[in-house]
Amino acid sequence: MEPILNQLFAGVSYGSILLLIALGLTFTFGQMGVINMAHGEFIMFGAYTTYVLQEVLGKDQITYAFLLSLPIALVVAGAMGLLLEMTLIKRLYGRPLDTLLVTWGVALVLQQLARDIFGANNVEVVSPTWLEGGITVFGIDMAYNRLFIIGLALAITAAAWVVVGKLKQGRRMRAVMQNRQLAGASGINTPSVDRRTFFLGSGLAGVAGVAITQLGSVGPNLGTNYIIDAFLVVIVGGLGHLRGAVIAALALGILNSLAEYWSSASLGKVIVFMAIVVFLQFRPQGIVASESRGLA
Amino acid sequence: MQTLGGFVSTREKGSRFWLAAILVMCLSAFVAVGCGSDDESSSSGSSTSSSADSGDTIKVGILHSLSGTMAISEKSVVDAEQLAIKEINAAGGVLGKQIEPVVEDGASDWPTFAEKAQKLISEDKVAAVFGCWTSASRKAVLPVFERNKALLYYPVQYEGMEASPYIFYTGATTNQQIIPALEYLKEEKKVKKLFLVGSDYVFPRTANKEIKLWAKANGMEITGEEYAPLGSTEFSTIVNKVKASDSDAVFNTLNGDSNVAFFKQLDGAGLPSSKLPIVSVSIAEDEVRAIGADKVEGQIVAWNYYQTTPGAANEKFVKAYKAEYGDDRVTDDPIEAAYVAVYLWAEAVEKAGTTDVEKVKEASKGLEFDAPEGKVVVDDENQHITKTARIGVINKEGLIDTVWESDGPIEPDPFLESYPWAKGMTPVDG
């Protein structure tokens, strides 16, 4: 029984990572219909932000560097997203396939940029001491860094839900996504809303990048490892729905860790992908049905 | 688009401006990229000489991953090869000519390795290539070297079961590294139950196949065998399986960055080296530097050379390496093997009096060299070299202390012909 419980925890923990990396994409892809292949690179730059802060503040300020990097990464990645929106993507709304090609090119440029700035070698982000080690509850080993990521995912999801569901800003966002012309005719400055949404979506990718530094090392290819998973979560969850993304991330995380436990790491991934294909055959609109006309 | 005529025309003007801006951006990016790779392969392209030793220089190729998941390990190997070339050049070169390295990036991608190998051979006409780290990349370039009858010097320990007539292997084969490590676990650590973790490609799979045969013959139980995709950073499931298996030790054949994630997550799951020893065959001083010494302190590694290996040849090598690349750098087994590879080639060329591949091969037979790891001898038949097996423990400075050493150098036996238990061992495909 214990191994299964441990696996469930591993699944929830993996699911929370999936949720973090996919949250931003529910805005940019799910709501705006932009297939942003550079989303992974925003994650990567968020991770490098942590590294830079740690180097600047020094080895004895690791805790501050790490906590400080959460808001700073949001701004850094958000600003990059904003720049991308204002220069390229704003010309491509309603042309999802073109956004795919353009942002993929941007992703390659950003990867090379990271390689030129930080070198091809991966760099190490030192974990704050309070994130090392773990506790055992009912035979489940919970590493502190995993618990932190789960907590962070919950907090960010709650914040995103408040923004989208409760604030004026979120209402405008939803209005623009559901019917751009009508929203514009009602006096909403749609280009401004687009910019804000894109800033938010990209910024969340940066925050995810900070969390990921606690799992492994940081390198220029970090983003490519996560981009596919992020898209899967958004598509399975139903385009643009936070609730769907949460369910999908958890389901995929747990399915992945259980499948991996009963088979092997490579085969586990195959099983997950096959399950997704079958699921989308029967429910192409995802877990939560979308009423927007995003990709239609 | 339903827009007014006037609006369309301003838009067009606007988009022309942006098109120009994007073009400028792309161009500047290309220029930046071009500059970046220029200092790495400063010498490629310009020369159109028809043979390796025409003119005043002899060209050699250096083919490693300078980017991607393997760059963590392979960059330092390139440095070692450059250092050896610089030293040889400073001492007068080979056959009175300077050696000119042409550096190519395999980018941790095996087809790219094959492409670049072909480029080095047919465009740059190099006399020999020093390159590769993973067995997957070596297997990808092997047919290229055999087809072109060109020489590759491979500097990394590997799984054996290979002896190409066009490859010199200066790293250990299994009977010089993995088998001594297993014997150490059995004799010194009294390990009865062993768990195997590796990256999912040819080296770990073949090595584990050999380990399982050995275990069967030696009464050791294999409690599990797990593979993670190369570059994977998600190890919670594997760590759980290791924990549930109640093993005495783990045999780790993970490569590249995965090691960082693996040790971080073991640490998080409460499995320090005192509770569960892990024997790694792909972690040397350079990787310890990247993982962080505190996460792997006390763990066991198996190699043939450490920075701490005693001897005058090694003292000189370590000093030269640090002088060239900085005091914070470390030397390790593949770095040393790569350094030795260049010297072995240079000596063979001097002895043969030409860079002609067949004559260099002939001259290499029985060639001896005072390497930092001790005296090595090139085998007549399989083109591997003799090596002393050394088991080490990682200390808190991130260096490795030798705790066990074989009685003198071990003859290379890539096909394990002298081991009865290895009968029926066949290589794993790709």
**Per-residue pLDDT reduced to its tens digit, B323-360:** 999 998 899 999 999 999 999 999 999 999 999 999 99
Residues 6 or more apart from A5 whose CB is under 8 A from it? A138, A139, A140
Q: List the structure tokens of B207.
A: 């090595």
Q: Which residue has the higher pLDDT, B22 or A243?
A: A243
Higher pLDDT, A123 or A259: A259
For chain B, give the percent of residues with pLDDT over 70. 87
Mean pLDDT of B383-402: 93
Look at residue B35 in the predicted model and tell me its pLDDT. Answer: 44
Of B131-140, B219-228, B291-300, minimum mean pLDDT range: B291-300
- Structural domain count of chain A: 1
The reported pLDDT for the residue numbered B173 is 92
Arithmetic mean of pLDDT, A75-90? 89
pLDDT at B430 over 60: no
A186 within some domain? yes
Query: Could you say which residues from 176 to 235 on chain A have a Cβ atom under 8 Å away from some Cβ of chain B?
Result: 215-217, 219-221, 225
Cα distance between residue B287 and residue B266, in whole Å:
17
Q: What is the mean pLDDT of residues B353-369?
A: 93
Which residue from A216, A142, A262 is spatially nearest to B226, judged by alpha carbons? A262
Across all residues in chain B, what is the average pLDDT? 85
Question: CB–CB of B390/B358 below 8 Å?
Answer: no
Query: What DSSP character marks residue B385?
Result: B
Nearest residue on chain B to A127, alpha-carbon basis: B264
**Where is mean pLDDT largest: A4-8, A55-59, B199-203, B333-337?**
B333-337
Q: How far, in whole angstroms, is CA B295 from its chain's centroid?
A: 22
- Structure confidence at residue B49 (pLDDT): 39
Å between B317 CA and nearest CA of chain A: 24
Contact A14 B236 (CB under 8 A): yes
pLDDT band at B43 (very low <50, low <70, confident <90, very high): very low
Please give the mean pLDDT across all residues of chain A: 85
Contact B403/A at CB under 8 A:
no
Minimum distance, in Å, between the CA of residue B18 and any CA atom of chain A: 8
B40 pLDDT band, cuts 50/70/90, is: very low
Mean pLDDT calculated for residue range B175-192: 91
Q: What is the mean pLDDT of residues B10-28?
A: 58
A8 C-beta neighbours (distance < 10 Å), count: 16
Alpha-carbon distances, residue B272 vs A25, A49, B263, B275, B295 (angstroms): 38, 30, 9, 6, 8
Banded model confidence at residue B47, pLDDT cuts 50, 70, 90: very low
For residues A198 and A82, the answer to whether their CB atoms sit within 8 Å is: yes
Of A238 and B93, more confident: B93
- Pairing status of strand B368-371 against strand B390-394: unpaired
Phi, psi of B57 (to 5 degrees): -125, 160
CB contact under 8 A, B21 and A87: yes
Give the SS3 label for residue B423.
coil
Q: What is the mean pLDDT of residues B287-301?
A: 84
Report, in angstroms and rounded to the nearest whole number, the Rg of chain A calculated over CA atoms: 19
CB contact under 8 A, B269 and A134: yes
The sign of the dihedral angle between the CA atoms of B5, B10, B13, B19 is: negative
What is the residue extent of each domain of chain B? Answer: 57-172+311-377, 175-309+389-422
> Which residue do the tokens 């080490």 mark?
B392
Give the nearest partner residue to A216 out of B26, B227, B233, using CB atoms: B233
The partner residues of A142 in beta bridges, in order of sequence, read A135
Q: Which residues of B358-391 are buried (b: 16+ CB within 10 A; e: fewer)?
A: eebbebbeebebebbbbebbbbeebbbbbbbbbb
Average pLDDT over residues B196-221: 91
Confirm whether B57-172+311-377 and B175-309+389-422 share one CATH topology: yes
Contact B268 A120 (CB under 8 A): no
DSSP A29: I
Neighbours of B417 (CB within 10 A): 11
Higher pLDDT, B48 or B373: B373
- Closest Cα in chain A, distance from residue B267 (Å): 6
Q: Given pLDDT bands bounded at 50, 70 and 90, which one contains residue A291?
A: low
Q: Amino acid identity, residue A246?
A: V
The lowest-confidence range among A194-198, B172-176, B207-211, B254-258 is B254-258
* Domain, as residue range, for A277: 2-282
| B69 neighbourhood in chain A, CB within 8 Å | 122, 219, 221
Q: A6 or B411: which carries more pLDDT confidence?
A: B411
User: So what's the pLDDT on residue A27?
Assistant: 83
* CATH T-level assignment (fold) for domain B175-309+389-422: Rossmann fold (3.40.50)
Exposure string over B99-121, b if 16+ CB within 10 A, otherwise e = bbbbbbbbbbbbebbbbbbbbbb
Local structure of residue B367 (DSSP, 8 states): -
Question: Per-residue pLDDT tens for A25-77?
Answer: 888 887 777 888 889 899 999 999 999 888 888 777 888 888 888 999 999 99
Higher pLDDT, B55 or A39: A39
Has residue B267 got a pLDDT over 60?
Answer: yes
For A71-116, the DSSP string reads: HHHHHHHHHHHHHHHHHTGGG-TT-HHHHHHHHHHHHHHHHHHHHH
Backbone CA torsion sign across B318, B319, B322, B328: positive
Look at residue B141 in the predicted model and tell me its pLDDT.
95
Q: What is the pLDDT of residue B53?
A: 54
Closest-CA residue to B379 (of B421, B334, B415, B346): B415
pLDDT band at B17 (very low <50, low <70, confident <90, very high): low
What does residue B329 show for φ and ψ, rounded to 5 degrees? -85, 155
Helix (H) or strand (E) holding B288: helix B285-291
β-partners of residue B61 are B102, B129
Q: How far is CA B252 from the centre of its chain?
A: 16
A290 band by pLDDT with thresholds 50, 70 and 90: low
Determine the residue among A80, A131, A141 to mutate to test chain B binding: the one whose Cβ has the most chain B Cβ atoms within 10 Å: A141
Q: Rounded to the nearest 10 degrees, how much is the dihedral formed by the CA atoms of B33, B35, B37, B43?
A: 150
Sort out which chain A residues have CB atoms less than 8 A from B33's CB and list them: 112, 116
pLDDT digits (tens, 9 = 90+) for B225-257: 999 888 788 888 898 889 888 899 999 999 877
Segment A228-243 mean pLDDT: 85
Selection from A130, A145, A118 nearest residue A55 by Cα: A118
Tell me which chain A residue has its CA closest to the CA of residue B230: A266
**Letter string b/e over residues B51-76, b meaning 16 or more CB atoms within 10 A of that residue's CB:** ebbeeebbbbbbbbbbbbbbbbbbbb
B364 vs B47, more confident: B364
Task: For chain A, say whether B341 makes contact (Cβ under 8 Å).
Answer: no
Q: What is the mean predicted confidence (pLDDT) over A89-114? A: 85
What pLDDT is attached to residue B233?
80
In a domain, A48, yes or no: yes
A290 within some domain: no
Q: B261 at the A interface (CB within 8 A)?
A: yes
Measured between beta carbons, the chain B residues lying within 8 angstroms of A271 are none
Chain B residues within an 8 Å CB radius of A120: 66-68, 71, 75
Angle between helices B333-352 and B312-325 (to 10 degrees): 110
Closest Cα partner for A144 from B291, B269, B271, B293? B269
Q: How many interchain CB pairs under 8 A, A with B?
A: 121
Which pLDDT score is estimated for B225? 92
Domain of A34, CATH number, reads 1.10.3470
Q: CB-CB: which of B71, B229, B237 is closest to A121?
A: B71
Residue B16 has pLDDT above 70, yes or no: no
Per CB-CB distance under 8 Å, the chain A contacts of B292 are 124, 126
pLDDT band at A153 (very low <50, low <70, confident <90, very high): very high
Q: Greatest CA separation found in chain B?
A: 89
- In-domain check, residue A105: yes
Band of pLDDT at residue A1, cut at 50, 70 and 90: low
Q: What is the pLDDT of residue B341?
A: 95
- Cα separation, B104 vs B87, in Å, equals 21
**CATH number of the domain at B57-172+311-377, out of 3.40.50.300, 3.30.1130.10, 3.40.50.1970, 3.40.50.2300?**
3.40.50.2300
Q: Where are the beta strands (DSSP E) in B6-143?
A: 57-64, 98-105, 129-131
Q: What is the distance in angstroms between the Cα of A216 and the nearest Cα belonging to chain B? A: 4
Higher pLDDT, A219 or B404: B404
pLDDT number for residue A33: 79
The shortest C-alpha distance from A162 to chain B (Å) reads 31
Q: Is A48 left (phi over 0), alpha (psi -120 to 50) or beta?
A: alpha
Higher pLDDT, B389 or A191: B389
Per-residue model confidence (pLDDT) at position B289: 81
Look up the ipTM and state it: 0.72
User: Which of A145-154, B65-74, B121-130, B131-140 comes out lowest in average pLDDT?
Assistant: B65-74
Q: Is B378 in contact with B344 (CB distance < 8 Å)?
A: yes
What is the Cα–Cα distance from A64 to B163, expressed in whole angstroms?
A: 54
